[in-house]
Amino acid sequence: MNTCENAVKLLTSKGRFYIELGLDRITKILSIFGNPQDDLKYIHVAGTNGKGSVCAFLESILRTKYKTGLYTSPHIFNYTERIKFNGENIPEEIFADYVFEVCRKADEANIHLTEFEILTVMMFLYFKSQGTEIVILETGLGGRFDATNVIKKNICSVITHIDYDHTERLGNTKDKIAFEKAGIIKPGCPVVTASAMEVIKDRADELNSLFILTSPAVDQYKKVSALKGFHQEENLALALTVIQTFFKEITDDEILTGLRNTVHPFRFEYFPKYNLIVDASHNPNGVEALRINLDYLYGEEKRRFIFGCLKNKDYNKMINILFRPEDEIYFYEFDYPNAAKYEDLKAACPYPCKPFARKLITGGDKLTIVCGSFYMLSSLFKSREELL
């Protein structure tokens, strides 16, 4: 039966739920479906950190004038969050139908697709069916061999902050990682970035693509932005550069409306009801941004941390960046196959720590910071709305 629950079971089954970079499989299956990706317009976003925030800014602003599609990953609560048309999740029944139809056609053609490839094909089909005018397209991993890079051209590419993550797949230097991200640059299509790395500029030059370097001069806009924190200034600057360069018909009032209405759950998000911050900082660079924001905006408050991450992340470095001797520290060994064990996190921590207890989240005597893996956050909360 084509239910959403069964569709998710199929996506997360052992034969689908893994990463295998490459464009051959998705190219073949999209050809069977008539290449819907060729009929859409894109802003393509890659980078280590900030991709989701840039996409959220862009989509919210563009939606003031256009029919928008937003494709992001991972989700927090439901797979349908990854595919949004005009700010609304793809309906569950349509989601399920697409999962089974894509898998059926792929099986008939003997094409074995991964979870992310299935979702990407569905996204192209759904956005075309809805008459989407602008698609904001976030890469899943890397860029050059990411399934989203099957598109042939775009309005522009956007490359956000580059740092170390997924080094086992993308390379162990920033230049190697940047090279993979720069793989989304298309011939003759501009690229917008806050990174002056030579490897990105060289790739743009090779492809005769306009290289646009931005800087975070966004004071008049950050005051109204719904997303807070120092790290958002660079993300906001990237989004504004795209809008002001390629969408001059969008007025300043529409930009301000879009910024006020931007929603990007659990990215340095404060919930006053519980004196709680939730932040999906899942790598050292993200944790460093969290620490800077906490010290500047909440420097006088005593802190309680609840932290959990995947075991393939550099949690030793993350722990040393994040915590101080005076902090109250709890580690959460959440229910996920690749979750870091409590004992391993404890061994890496130079300060006293304890196992997580759920009642800590709503104990407002201190500023509580829940941070780490997306998978951890989804295991702790049923929805964002429960905290509002």
Instruction: Determine how many CB atoms are found less than 10 A away from the CB of residue 338.
Output: 11
pLDDT over 80 at 358, yes or no: no
pLDDT class of 282 with cuts at 50, 70, 90: confident
- The answer to which of 27-36, 216-225, 292-301 has the lowest mean pLDDT is 216-225
Does residue 283 contact residue 313 with C-beta atoms inside 8 Å?
A: yes
Does residue 239 contact residue 57 with C-beta atoms inside 8 Å?
A: yes
pLDDT class of 351 with cuts at 50, 70, 90: very high
Confidence (pLDDT) at 301? 92
Provide the b/e sequence for 139-160 (b: ≥16 CB within 10 Å).
Answer: bbbbbbbbbbbbbeebbbbbbb
* Cα distance between residue 268 and residue 283, in whole Å: 14
Q: Decide: residue 294, CB within 10 A, 0-12 exposed, 13-18 middle, 19+ buried.
A: buried
Reported as a single tens digit per residue, the pLDDT across 138-159 is 999 989 999 999 999 999 999 9
Reported as a single tens digit per residue, the pLDDT across 65-112 is 999 999 999 999 999 999 999 999 999 999 999 999 999 999 999 999
Instruction: Determine how many CB atoms are found less than 10 A away from the CB of residue 276.
Output: 20
pLDDT over 90 at 219, yes or no: no
Confidence (pLDDT) at 363? 65
Mean pLDDT of the region 17-27 = 87
Tokens for 106, please give them: 């792929």
Mean pLDDT of the region 294-323 = 94
Average pLDDT, rounded, for the chain:
93
Mean pLDDT of the region 152-167 = 90
Confidence (pLDDT) at 220? 80
Confidence (pLDDT) at 165? 73
Q: Give the range with max mean pLDDT: 14-23, 181-190, 357-366.
A: 181-190
Reported as a single tens digit per residue, the pLDDT across 362-384 is 766 899 999 999 999 999 998 89
* Cα distance between residue 63 and residue 123, in whole Å: 18
SS3 category, 272: helix
pLDDT over 90 at 204, yes or no: yes
Q: Is the dihedral of CA 122, 124, 129, 130 positive or negative?
A: positive
Confidence (pLDDT) at 19? 76
Confidence (pLDDT) at 127? 98
Q: Tell me what percent of the residues of the chain surpass a pLDDT of 90.
A: 79
Q: Give the range with max mean pLDDT: 92-106, 215-229, 276-290.
A: 92-106
Tell me the β-bridge partners of 193. 159, 213
Name the helix (H) or strand (E) containing 68: strand 68-71
DSSP 182: G
Reported as a single tens digit per residue, the pLDDT across 242-277 is 999 999 999 999 999 999 999 999 999 999 999 999
Confidence (pLDDT) at 14? 76
Residue 130 φ/ψ, nearest 5 degrees: -90, 0
Half-sphere exposure of 302 (CA within 13 A, CB side): 6
pLDDT over 80 at 224, yes or no: yes
User: At CB < 8 A and 24+ separation, what contacts does 88-92 make?
Assistant: 90/122, 90/126, 92/4
Confidence (pLDDT) at 185? 98
